[in-house]
Amino acid sequence: MKDYFDTELTAEQLNNISVLGLAHIGDAVYELLVRSWLCANGKSTSKGLHRETVGYVNAPAQAKAAAEIFDKLTQEEQTAFKRGRNAKVNSVPKNAELSQYHAATGLETLFGYLYLKGERDRISELFGLIVED
């Protein structure tokens, strides 16, 4: 049986995925991390979980998270982040500034890139830097 949670793509395969494709998977990875972290830390009601999740998974919060970890990224990780940050987007949510949305897209791209590369430990390390302040 193939383990779909344990995806590990080659550099060539990663380069063939669009930036917004990486951001797409990274958005899901980041949200799953937030949801898991909230459940593990005592949030128990559906309404409370949703409210708390939205507090972390939105462009302004993700832009802040990106700023917190950027200096701790390797050159390769910064390149992945910048690819996402510089991606052309067609719309911006009304609760976010363009710069926040770009930074959030960069963060999602980074998490998608690391996930598809199989770098689970690094994802956990970076996520810990974001939530354990």
Name the average pLDDT for the chain: 92
CATH superfamily of 11-131: Ribonuclease III domain (1.10.1520.10)
Q: Please give the model's pTM, rounded to 2 decimal places.
A: 0.93
CB 23 within 8 A of CB 114: no
pLDDT tens string 101-121: 999 999 999 999 999 999 999
CA gap 93, 5 in Å, rounded: 30
Give the count of alpha carbons within 13 A of 91, CB side only: 3
> Is 27 designated active site?
yes
Q: Single out the catalytic residue among 3, 27, 71, 121.
A: 27
Higher model confidence: residue 122 or residue 93? Answer: 122
| Tokens of residue 103, six digits | 């930074």
Q: Where are the domains of the chain?
A: 11-131
Query: CA angle, 94 as apex, 19 and 43 as ends, to 5°?
Result: 80
CA gap 81, 45 in Å, rounded: 34
The predicted pLDDT at position 95 comes to: 85
CA gap 93, 115 in Å, rounded: 25
